[in-house]
């Protein structure tokens, strides 16, 4: 998808990062992004080039599973039956095309072998054109992995070298990233921040803003996440920022306490 690389009119961009680069928040709260699509909007998976990323089938299955987990838990809580169409586009069908050639898509999920600056996932909205409004998510399928290499030099100082290389992310990590990004792109949830130690934050919410790679960490849509979705949508499933809202149309996230 060439067009998404040069978008300059985004309302908002949200990132998920590797655990090593985060800071500890000072409270338990969400940020509401103030944007959404209807709860049955179409999601389009723009699959990577098989010559570069051969695990397209596994990535598709993991992504569909993550989207359906959100749907199932929100449907159960809100006593409804909203199901999104998920359309899968192989690389050859979208490589050189722009987003405007896919008017049926309201949310794009684009898979990248490696995103810049240790970013694992990225989400945003483009509502700049009244005739085509969409959200998008980038999902990394590869990331840096490395160790510290220490060379002992007789009669001299030890040499410390950081050895990093790009490797495939496990499918479980890719699913974790998709699950997180769908909270942004499909429901307008921002990040959940916790004053617990960071490694506990992800257990409280799939919207915690960092994950640990190459581990047994498993993200799940939690009751807190569904609580926020329920609070942000009215019975008619329109976005009603009851507890979290924007003042004067400001395009910034507004803090929402999960207890208020």
Domain ranges, residue 119:
3-142+170-257
- Other beta carbons less than 10 A from residue 17's beta carbon: 17
- Other beta carbons less than 10 A from residue 163's beta carbon: 9
Determine, yes or no, domain membership for 43. yes
Q: Are 210 and 19 in contact (CB under 8 A)?
A: yes
Q: Are 66 and 178 in contact (CB under 8 A)?
A: yes
Determine, yes or no, domain membership for 153. no
Here the CATH number for the domain that contains residue 214 is 3.40.390
pLDDT at 153: 54
pLDDT at 80: 87
pLDDT at 249: 34
Sign of the Cα torsion 50, 53, 54, 59 reads: negative
Determine, yes or no, domain membership for 159. no
Determine, yes or no, domain membership for 107. yes
| Count of domains forming the chain | 1
Determine, yes or no, domain membership for 242. yes
pLDDT at 229: 83
pLDDT at 48: 96
Q: How far apart are CA 56 and CA 198, in angstroms?
A: 31
The closest of 5, 4, 204, 37 to 104, measured between CA atoms, is: 37
pLDDT at 202: 57
pLDDT at 235: 53
- Dihedral angle over CA of 33, 37, 43, 45, nearest 10: -30
Structural tokens at position 179: 């699950």
Q: How far apart are CA 109 and CA 58, in angstroms?
A: 15
pLDDT at 11: 35
Determine, yes or no, domain membership for 147. no
pLDDT at 60: 98
**The model's pTM:** 0.79
CA distances 79 to 183, 204, 224, 259, Å, are 19, 23, 17, 22
Determine, yes or no, domain membership for 138. yes
Mean pLDDT in consecutive groups of 10 residues from the start of the chain, 260 residues: 39 49 47 68 95 97 98 92 94 94 95 82 83 90 72 55 79 95 88 63 76 86 87 55 36 38
Q: Are 185 and 173 in contact (CB under 8 A)?
A: no
Determine, yes or no, domain membership for 121. yes
pLDDT at 22: 36
């Amino acid at each position: 998808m060439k067009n998404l690389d040069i978008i300059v009119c985004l309302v908002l961009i949200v990132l998920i990062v590797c655990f090593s680069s985060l800071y500890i928040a000072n409270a338990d709260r969400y940020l509401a992004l103030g944007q959404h699509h209807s709860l049955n909007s179409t999601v389009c998976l723009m699959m990577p080039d098989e010559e570069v990323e051969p695990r397209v089938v596994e990535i598709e299955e993991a992504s569909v599973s993550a989207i359906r987990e959100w749907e199932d838990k929100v449907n159960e809580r809100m006593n409804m039956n909203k199901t999104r169409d998920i359309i899968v586009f192989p690389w050859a069908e979208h490589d050189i095309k722009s987003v405007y050639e896919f008017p049926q898509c309201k949310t794009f999920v684009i898979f990248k072998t490696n995103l810049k600056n240790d970013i694992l996932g990225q989400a945003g909205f483009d509502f700049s054109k009244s005739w085509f409004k969409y959200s998008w998510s980038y999902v990394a399928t590869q990331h840096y992995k490395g160790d510290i290499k220490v060379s002992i030099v007789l009669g001299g100082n030890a040499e410390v070298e950081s050895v990093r290389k790009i490797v495939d992310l496990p499918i479980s990590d890719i699913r974790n990233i998709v699950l997180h990004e769908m909270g942004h792109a499909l429901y307008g949830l921002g990040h959940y921040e916790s004053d617990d130690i960071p490694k506990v934050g992800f257990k409280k919410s799939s919207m915690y803003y960092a994950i640990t790679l190459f581990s047994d960490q498993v993200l799940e849509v939690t009751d807190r996440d569904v609580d926020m979705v329920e609070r942000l949508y009215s019975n008619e499933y329109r976005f009603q920022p009851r507890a979290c809202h924007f003042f004067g149309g400001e395009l910034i996230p507004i803090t929402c306490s999960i207890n208020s």
